[in-house]
Amino acid sequence: MSDFDPEKFEDKYVHYFNELQKAYKNAFNRLNEQYDSELIHAIDQQILNESEPFYEGDGEFRVELPENPTERVQAIVVDDEKLEEMLDIYVEEIETELRRVFGFETESEA
Protein backbone atom coordinates (compact mmCIF):
# COMPACT_ATOMS: atom_id res chain seq x y z
CA MET A 1 0.00 0.00 0.00
CA SER A 2 1.18 3.51 -0.74
CA ASP A 3 1.44 6.16 1.95
CA PHE A 4 -1.87 7.49 3.23
CA ASP A 5 -2.82 10.92 1.91
CA PRO A 6 -5.68 12.67 3.77
CA GLU A 7 -6.48 14.78 0.71
CA LYS A 8 -6.89 11.67 -1.45
CA PHE A 9 -9.25 10.24 1.18
CA GLU A 10 -11.79 12.88 0.19
CA ASP A 11 -12.13 10.87 -3.05
CA LYS A 12 -11.71 7.61 -1.15
CA TYR A 13 -13.55 5.29 -3.51
CA VAL A 14 -11.16 6.20 -6.32
CA HIS A 15 -7.91 6.14 -4.34
CA TYR A 16 -8.56 3.75 -1.45
CA PHE A 17 -11.38 1.41 -2.48
CA ASN A 18 -9.37 -1.79 -1.86
CA GLU A 19 -8.21 -0.60 1.56
CA LEU A 20 -11.76 0.36 2.57
CA GLN A 21 -13.06 -2.99 1.40
CA LYS A 22 -10.36 -4.77 3.39
CA ALA A 23 -11.12 -2.82 6.59
CA TYR A 24 -14.85 -3.54 6.38
CA LYS A 25 -14.22 -7.20 5.56
CA ASN A 26 -11.74 -7.62 8.43
CA ALA A 27 -14.24 -6.10 10.88
CA PHE A 28 -17.03 -8.32 9.55
CA ASN A 29 -14.93 -11.49 9.79
CA ARG A 30 -13.75 -10.73 13.32
CA LEU A 31 -17.24 -9.95 14.64
CA ASN A 32 -18.90 -12.78 12.73
CA GLU A 33 -16.67 -15.21 14.65
CA GLN A 34 -17.36 -13.63 18.06
CA TYR A 35 -21.04 -12.67 17.97
CA ASP A 36 -24.40 -13.78 16.59
CA SER A 37 -23.64 -14.19 12.89
CA GLU A 38 -27.27 -13.57 11.88
CA LEU A 39 -27.20 -10.18 13.62
CA ILE A 40 -23.78 -9.32 12.16
CA HIS A 41 -25.02 -10.15 8.64
CA ALA A 42 -28.16 -8.04 9.13
CA ILE A 43 -26.16 -5.03 10.33
CA ASP A 44 -23.67 -5.45 7.50
CA GLN A 45 -26.29 -5.75 4.76
CA GLN A 46 -28.99 -3.39 6.02
CA ILE A 47 -27.07 -0.60 7.80
CA LEU A 48 -23.39 -0.60 6.96
CA ASN A 49 -23.97 -1.00 3.24
CA GLU A 50 -24.87 2.71 3.28
CA SER A 51 -22.33 3.89 5.86
CA GLU A 52 -19.65 6.39 5.01
CA PRO A 53 -16.11 6.42 6.44
CA PHE A 54 -14.40 9.76 7.04
CA TYR A 55 -10.85 10.63 7.99
CA GLU A 56 -10.88 12.94 11.03
CA GLY A 57 -7.13 13.65 11.20
CA ASP A 58 -4.39 12.44 13.53
CA GLY A 59 -4.91 8.84 12.42
CA GLU A 60 -8.58 8.78 13.46
CA PHE A 61 -11.53 7.67 11.36
CA ARG A 62 -15.27 8.05 11.84
CA VAL A 63 -18.00 5.93 10.29
CA GLU A 64 -21.22 7.82 9.61
CA LEU A 65 -24.36 5.70 9.55
CA PRO A 66 -27.48 6.27 7.46
CA GLU A 67 -30.51 7.90 9.12
CA ASN A 68 -32.50 5.73 11.52
CA PRO A 69 -30.09 2.80 11.37
CA THR A 70 -31.93 0.51 13.78
CA GLU A 71 -35.17 0.87 11.82
CA ARG A 72 -33.40 -0.52 8.75
CA VAL A 73 -32.91 -3.99 10.23
CA GLN A 74 -35.86 -6.03 9.03
CA ALA A 75 -34.37 -9.47 8.36
CA ILE A 76 -34.23 -10.61 11.99
CA VAL A 77 -36.02 -10.01 15.27
CA VAL A 78 -33.77 -8.25 17.78
CA ASP A 79 -34.49 -5.76 20.53
CA ASP A 80 -33.30 -2.20 19.92
CA GLU A 81 -30.92 -2.17 22.88
CA LYS A 82 -29.05 -5.27 21.68
CA LEU A 83 -28.99 -3.96 18.10
CA GLU A 84 -27.64 -0.55 19.17
CA GLU A 85 -24.98 -2.17 21.35
CA MET A 86 -23.86 -4.48 18.54
CA LEU A 87 -23.89 -1.63 16.03
CA ASP A 88 -21.64 0.45 18.32
CA ILE A 89 -19.22 -2.48 18.63
CA TYR A 90 -19.25 -3.02 14.86
CA VAL A 91 -18.60 0.66 14.05
CA GLU A 92 -15.77 0.76 16.58
CA GLU A 93 -14.26 -2.35 14.98
CA ILE A 94 -14.46 -0.79 11.50
CA GLU A 95 -12.76 2.38 12.76
CA THR A 96 -10.02 0.24 14.34
CA GLU A 97 -9.57 -1.70 11.10
CA LEU A 98 -9.35 1.54 9.12
CA ARG A 99 -6.52 2.67 11.41
CA ARG A 100 -4.78 -0.68 10.92
CA VAL A 101 -5.21 -0.87 7.16
CA PHE A 102 -3.92 2.67 6.72
CA GLY A 103 -0.95 2.06 9.02
CA PHE A 104 -1.93 4.20 12.01
CA GLU A 105 -2.23 1.24 14.39
CA THR A 106 -0.87 -2.27 14.63
CA GLU A 107 -2.70 -5.43 15.72
CA SER A 108 -1.01 -5.34 19.14
CA GLU A 109 -2.20 -1.77 19.85
CA ALA A 110 -5.88 -2.66 19.58
Give the range among 38-42, 56-60, 71-75, 96-100 with minimum mean pLDDT. Answer: 71-75
Domains of the chain: total: 1
User: What confidence score (pLDDT) does residue 1 get?
Assistant: 43
pLDDT in tens, 8-53: 999 999 999 999 999 999 999 999 999 999 999 999 999 999 999 9
In a domain, 76, yes or no: yes
> What distance in Å separates the CA atoms of residue 76 and residue 13, rounded to the nearest whole number?
30
In a domain, 81, yes or no: yes
In a domain, 1, yes or no: no
Question: 100 is in which domain, residue-wise?
Answer: 6-109
In a domain, 83, yes or no: yes
Neighbour count for residue 94 (Cβ, 10 Å): 23
In a domain, 20, yes or no: yes
> What distance in Å separates the CA atoms of residue 87 and residue 47, rounded to the nearest whole number?
9
In a domain, 54, yes or no: yes
Letter for the amino acid at 17?
F
